[in-house]
Structure 1
């Protein structure tokens, strides 16, 4: 659950992480084959870059996580959606779940049940749970 919780909470960081990874992929490796033969593959740098980005597992994972978080939130009732958005992305994101539940009038078991329901749905969407 903690792993899913961290992935879910990272929504606001994924666009930046994807952009950083694309920049990393753009950097060309230094040619250590000085004076060596030429490659017989015709190079199209734009096409090569797009292929790298589309096949990079780091980027693919973050895109899946982003889409799944949004779909999971959208699939909740308005009350649960409001709680989840506030806890993960709002002013109460710094609070632990027990304090958050207390502040919003939920018993310890109730707030953890909501958290578990949301994270289990997210885990199924990203393929980590059945």
Structure 2
């Protein structure tokens, strides 16, 4: 198990990538669900019955709920929502501005200054909410 106090720069980049992709996650999930609807050719020529559920809607739901791609992205989405919900108003505004706002091109120091935080405080806030997100998705 990972030590909670040891998120390195690669971990932080990976976690930040999930925040940056937050608005795309619904689209990625929808595309994957459509891919799962495409029926595979039956390769069981002359064989016995398969043990797959006969109801196509039920089998589609089972495929979607057991697909690791969909499960993972839904977990990221829930984790981000839960992380943002726990933040105070100032931190929430900074996160939304950094990842999805008009100032998303700015680095952390500049975003912190815009929101009235000094450099060290900005990086502490960043680390804290990314650590919280990592806990929420089971990364640490």
Instruction: Please give the TM-score of this superposition, normalised by the length of structure 2.
Output: 0.82
Contact 2:90 2:115 in 1 (8 A): no
Q: 1:81 aligns with which of 68, 75, 92?
A: 92
Q: Does 38-47 or 52-61 show the bigger shift?
A: 38-47
Match for residue 53 of structure 1?
A: 64
Structure 1 spans left out of the alignment, 5+ residues: none
Instruction: Please give the TM-score of this superposition, normalised by the length of structure 1.
Output: 0.88
Matched, 1:36 2:46: yes
Please report how far the alpha carbon of residue 38 of structure 1 lies from its aligned counterpart in structure 2 after TM superposition: 4.9
Per-residue displacement from partner, 1:9-34 (whole Å, max 9, x unpaired)? 2110110000000011111112345x
C-alpha spacing 1:92/1:36, structure 2 compared with 1 (3 Å) = same
Q: 1:96 aligns with which of 102, 107, 118?
A: 107
Runs (4+) off by over 4 Å: none
Distance 1:55 1:96 in 2: 38
- CA RMSD, Structure 1 to Structure 2 (Å): 1.7
> What is the number of residues matched between the two proteins?
128
